[in-house]
């Protein structure tokens, strides 16, 4: 039986990456980049481990996908990310010319939409895929972090 690749399928893969970030003490955001139903990049936040504010899951995934493809443009690719990209990541996604962005939970205060970040005119955005699962992981992380301090 052939597996059906849906937005939910790939978002679950991004959630697996977010879980890895959670276990490392990173803000639990995960991302995968897909072309032709094939995952070509997997990433999660590494800002604490690398001591680098730019080491967001999306940035790590963009770099890995560009390396895989042998070029800087991510045309015909889709980014699946558990949290709406921030302004920095939105800018990088603009320059990558990625075809599509699919995110889970909305970031009401720092997301692209709230910040007024312009994406590439040919990029389409779908939000809210497995939003509850994505949101709960981030909430659980910050609740546990507050309880430790």
Q: Just list the catalytic residues.
A: 58
Q: Are 141 and 27 in contact (CB under 8 A)?
A: yes
- The annotation status of 89 as a binding-site residue, yes or no, is yes
56 is in an annotated binding site: yes
112 among the known binding-site residues?
Answer: no
Extract the annotated binding site. 56, 86, 89
Extract the annotated binding site for Zn(2+). 56, 86, 89
């Amino acid at each position: 039986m052939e597996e059906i690749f849906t937005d939910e399928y790939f978002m679950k893969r991004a959630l697996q990456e977010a879980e890895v970030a959670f276990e490392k003490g990173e803000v639990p955001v995960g991302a995968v980049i897909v072309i032709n139903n094939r995952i070509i990049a997997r990433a999660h936040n590494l800002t604490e481990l690398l001591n680098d504010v730019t080491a967001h899951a999306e940035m790590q995934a963009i770099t890995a996908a560009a390396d895989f493809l042998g070029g800087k443009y991510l045309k015909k690719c889709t980014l699946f990310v558990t949290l709406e990209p921030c302004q920095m990541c939105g800018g990088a996604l603009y320059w990558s010319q990625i075809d599509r962005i699919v995110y889970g939970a909305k970031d009401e205060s720092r997301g692209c939409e709230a910040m007024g970040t312009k994406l590439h005119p040919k990029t389409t955005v779908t939000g809210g895929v497995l939003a509850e699962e994505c949101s709960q992981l981030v909430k659980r992380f910050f609740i546990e972090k507050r309880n430790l301090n």
